[in-house]
A and B are shown apart, each in its own frame.
Chain A
Amino acid sequence: MTPGLLLALAAGGLLAGLIFGPGRPRVWLALTLTGNAAALGAALLVLFHGADWTWRGGWPVAGELPWLRLDGISAWFLALLGVGGGAGAVYAQEYWADAHHPDSAPRSRRWWNAMGLSMGLVLLSSNGLHFLIAWELFAVSSYFLVTLDRERKEVRAAGWLYLAASHAGTLCLFGFFALLAVRTGSWELGPLHDHADLAPLFWLALFGFGVKAGLFPLHLWLPSAHANAPSHVSALMSGVAIKMGIYGIVRFSGWLPVPAAAGWVVISLGAVSALVGITFALAQNDLKRLLAYCSVENVGIIMVGLGGALLGARHGEAPWGRLLLAGALLHIWNHGLFKSLLFYSAGSVLHATGTREISRLGGLWRAMPWTAALFALGAAAVSGLPPLNGFVSEWLVYLGLLDAAAGHGRPAWAAMPAAIMLAMAGALALAGFLKAGALVFLGAPRTPAATHAHEGGRLLRGPMLALAGACVAAGLAPLLLWPAVARAVAAWHPAWTAGPAPAALTTLSLAQVVLAVLFLAAGVALWRRVRACGLRRAPTWDCGFAAPTARMQYTGGSFAGITTGWFSWLLLPERLLRRPRGPFPAQAGRSEYLPETVLERIVVPAGEAVMRASTAARRLQHGRLQFYIVYLAGGLIVLALLVWLEGMP
């Protein structure tokens, strides 16, 4: 099997699913799984064995000859697409079943494949024009997936916001590719390191792709789109789609020369994104919105790695530059795995209880043991805890940063603050996922909906189990992935050729395996000891105030209260407190609303100001001819004055 054949199979499978699948769920699932598996196979083949795959079409499409290329970097992202697309297809079969959504389930299937195909095309296109076409198809098909449930108002609003933000980014990309084509004289893309004049174009690419990647402060579409989309779509958006933005930044920072400040800007944006993203995540009360903001954090971590790699490349520091890039790339995969797992778990919770609000759930582990255990695993992975996969990639990033700091060069001034901010983000992520996991799954059910929850079926659990297995495997055996990482790194920077895995990684993976075994053994051993000593069940003691109502448990807001208090200058929460008054207090309450700071405090007011100014300017246009003649005369006089003043000595 060659990559070309597998890619043809992938395209064929997805296309056939797109055409014949919408009305036939089983056929669609088979075709889509085949397609995604073939895409994954092609990517792995390029990453682990063969050389790059390229293909030039013989007939023009939109005036340009097609040129497809699968190299280390695009294969890296294509593998993620194959996994995310396949797992989501299985999950959607039960989660968005025809029985419950007769109207939108066929649409879901159609747009799912359209989105997979267009993302694949984005990754493969080596021609600016075709890249733009694929990018636009990708944006539109993901818009239709996000708005599957379009009867709900907030879904439509989220969809519009996504479409608008996405096109603001695409506008920059039009500029980027057009300028690139003008300066190089061709739409074809490839390594162009000798064109130093192309460097400033990097800023356009950073903005355009940054919007899609959800980099702070360009993330404003991301929380509502992720939260309101059906969960299989949220997982695809967060696990794979935002990675397309990262792909763009990685791809063009590798192919084109970059400005001197690029590394500094990217690493700063990344560190800020990580910290701000996780701060917002911790404050959320909506489970899926929390996960969405956490994506902003993880994109930040990836950007810290990439920014560090750019600094390493500029300062000729291959050893730690390579580590940082490897960490960033590995984190792209890892985030795709555990974030999809978390979104699927959140989807199962939503499916079982009908609510995403953390403070209305609780005690779900009894009804949904699988989902609870898998969510806990995902939460540990996303918090970067050993021995799971999140730790390996974060370890590589930290190691690169520490090396850069220890190197005493100028890059240390970026590496040291970035490491400190990442440490803070890491501890906040732990708090955030403890909140999400524990308040949703532990304790007593807070509402009847949570009491009557039920475990999802096999098709919901299957993909989650597979992803959880991948998280564990990638954590325990990162060495198996190293050849692929090394290949992708070499594709980004040809001088950083593939070397053997760092010796420390070998020891680390051994330590991870030992830790995993000991964790399991200790848990089992202590459980047996407790059983042997005798074990009694009683209500929670709680300092003698036993078994109060479930609503007296700690809520999400109270759990996050300390940290959200520190960051209230950023979160700007709106609190409403009605104190109990009088000897017979009737009603009292406290509510808190958390605005989307960037959207509601900056973008919307700015938009309103523009609208007000436009409305005011419209008064000039009233349809009275005599005034128009006055405008004309006034304009002419001003022009004449200008000419006269220019003519004066």
Chain B
Amino acid sequence: MILEILLRLVLWLLLAPLLPGIINKVKAWVAGRRGPPVLQLYYDLARLWRKSAVLSTLASPAFVAGPAVAWVALAGAALLMPLGPAGGAVSFRGDVLLLVYLFAVARFCTAWAALETGSAFEGMGAAREVSYAVLAEVALITAVLSLSVQTGSVTLVTMLAPATGAGAVLLAGGLFAVLLAENCRVPFDDPNTHLELTMIHEVMVLDHSGPPFAVILHGASLKLMLFAVLLSQAVLPVAELTPAAATIVLAGAVLAVTVGVGLVESLLARFAFRRVPLLLTTAFLLCLFALLLAWKGGAA
């Protein structure tokens, strides 16, 4: 049991930094560049972990503790996430709510650490992060409701038995938009730069350096992978496959989502900020229609 948990954790922690690398590769490929190696984030993390840190004179110890707590919350969320037929490392009725609230813990701690610096830049980023998360969380809970109505279950392992047809398409669309928003990707945010006034996540971590910054970057990649796995399993019947097939399907689906993120990032420009709520509301509506379809399907 303990061994299984540790094994899963190591798997999650090791694989997660691959995703941003793949996205960057896809972006480079579309733009006709060679791009950084897929493993670039691993090198960055190793380098940052060894570097010394510069802390703002205004910052309290929570400036360092915040990223650590956020990282633990995301690692905990990874343990709750079921992996196809293997189920979740930890699973109980209502674990899906803990998952949603662990994301909230991560958000609270990251934003708190950002505000430690007293910088207006970081204030802006934190304000945007928590404000757009309001709509993203609504969409996420609606998606959870639709899965739960669909299967009559409130446990992640059993509720990830996807709908077919229109419901799955709607849910996939809604969850993909939530994934982009929660992970601060284009068209909500641009992870490439932090020097414009229009950034969310990158501007929050402006003053972080050294090991805390490594923890933040790793946590962000973990969150991306969590959402990608959640999206894949909410749409594909991974749990019903044999372990070998499930592994291949899940890996393929996560890869497809990652490539999709990269393509969106290459082909779309970031939206103006006043249009972000509109897009998130659209995501909510997609999830809401998925919920209504699940209701009709379940009642019949």
Contacts and interface: CB of A to CB of B under 8 A. Distances in A.
B190 interface: no
B90 to A, nearest CB: 6
B65 A523 contact: yes
A146 interface: no
Interface string A310-335: 00000000000000000000000000
Interface in B183-197: 194-195
A430 B111 CA distance: 10
A606 B241 CA distance: 66
Interface stretch (B24-32, B170-178, B205-213, B225-233): B205-213
A508 interface: yes
B217 interface: no
Contact of B291 (A369, A416, A428, A534): A416
Interface string B132-154: 11101110111011001101111
Contacts of B116: 438, 442-443
Contact of A543 (B56, B73, B121, B151): B121
Contacts of A550: 118
Contacts of B207: 540-542
Given A408-B299, A566-B277, A554 B53 contact: no
B188 to A, nearest CB: 13
Given A406-B153, A426-B137, A526-B68, A554 B120 contact: yes
Interface residues of B, number: 84
A482 to B, nearest CB: 15
Contacts of B93: 399, 502-504
Given A526-B68, A553-B118, A511 B104 contact: no
B96 to A, nearest CB: 8
Contacts of A511: 76, 90, 92, 98
Nearest to B63: A442
Contact of B138 (A424, A438, A542, A553): A424
B256 to A, nearest CB: 28
A560 B65 CA distance: 25
Contact of A536 (B52, B141, B151, B211): B52
Contacts of B151: 406
A406 B98 CA distance: 18
Contacts of A386: 98, 101-102, 105
A527 B61 CA distance: 8
Contact of B111 (A434, A503, A504): A434
A627 B104 CA distance: 73
> Which one of B50, B120, B194 has the greatest number of beta carbons of chain A within 10 Å?
B120
A14 to B, nearest CB: 40
Given A526-B212, A533-B211, A515 B72 contact: yes
A540 B53 CA distance: 13
Contacts of B144: 402
B138 A538 contact: no
A561 interface: yes
B141 A385 contact: no
Contact of A427 (B60, B64, B134, B154): B134
Contacts of A538: 54-57
A431 B127 CA distance: 8
Contacts of B64: 523, 526-527, 530
A405 interface: yes
Interface in A402-443: 402-403, 405-408, 412, 416, 419-420, 423-424, 426-428, 430-431, 434, 437-439, 442-443
Interface in B33-74: 49-58, 60-62, 64-65, 67-69, 71-73
A518 B148 contact: no
Nearest to A555: B123
Given A536-B55, A542-B121, A550-B118, A526 B211 contact: yes
B243 interface: no
Given A391-B101, A442-B116, A444-B118, A403 B130 contact: no
Contact of B90 (A363, A507, A525): A507
B80 to A, nearest CB: 9
Nearest to B111: A434
A420 B145 contact: yes
Given A385-B101, A530-B211, A553-B123, A522 B118 contact: no
A398 B97 contact: yes
B298 interface: yes
A390 to B, nearest CB: 10
A530 B104 contact: no
A264 interface: no
Contacts of B51: 533
Contacts of B55: 530, 535-538
Contact of B62 (A376, A536, A558): A376
Contact of A442 (B58, B104, B120, B132): B58
A402 B159 CA distance: 12
Given A423-B137, A533-B50, A526 B101 contact: no
A205 interface: no
Interface string B201-226: 00000110011100100000000000
Contacts of B120: 542, 548, 552-554
Given A522-B69, A526-B215, A553-B119, A420 B57 contact: no
B98 A508 contact: yes
B242 interface: no
Contacts of A406: 148-149, 151-154
B83 interface: no
A554 B121 CA distance: 8
B19 interface: no
B116 to A, nearest CB: 5
A48 interface: no
B127 A385 contact: no
B134 A434 contact: no
B134 A424 contact: yes
Contacts of A391: 101
Contacts of B72: 515, 518-519, 522
Contact of A398 (B52, B94, B124, B132): B94
Nearest to B76: A515
Interface in A436-469: 437-439, 442-444
B133 A427 contact: yes
A530 B210 contact: yes
Given A508-B98, A526-B64, A434 B105 contact: no
B92 A504 contact: yes
Contact of A443 (B115, B134, B154): B115
A540 B211 contact: no
B12 interface: no
A426 B65 CA distance: 23
Contacts of A527: 61, 64-65, 68
A503 B155 CA distance: 13
A529 interface: yes
A444 B60 CA distance: 11
A405 B149 contact: yes
A202 interface: no
B58 A540 contact: yes
B117 A443 contact: yes
10 closest A-B pairs by CB: A554-B123, A443-B118, A534-B52, A523-B65, A438-B115, A423-B141, A507-B92, A504-B93, A431-B130, A562-B131
22 contacts: A386-B98, A402-B148, A406-B149, A406-B152, A406-B153, A408-B295, A419-B141, A431-B133, A442-B112, A504-B94, A511-B76, A515-B76, A519-B68, A519-B72, A534-B52, A535-B53, A536-B52, A542-B117, A543-B195, A553-B118, A554-B122, A554-B123
Given A395-B97, A529-B211, A553-B120, 12 more contacts: A416-B145, A419-B141, A427-B130, A434-B112, A442-B112, A522-B69, A523-B64, A535-B54, A536-B52, A537-B54, A538-B54, A540-B56
Interface of B: 49-58, 60-62, 64-65, 67-69, 71-73, 76, 90, 92-98, 100-102, 104-105, 107-108, 111-112, 115-124, 126-128, 130-134, 136-138, 140-142, 144-145, 148-149, 151-154, 194-195, 206-207, 210-212, 215, 277, 291, 295, 298-299
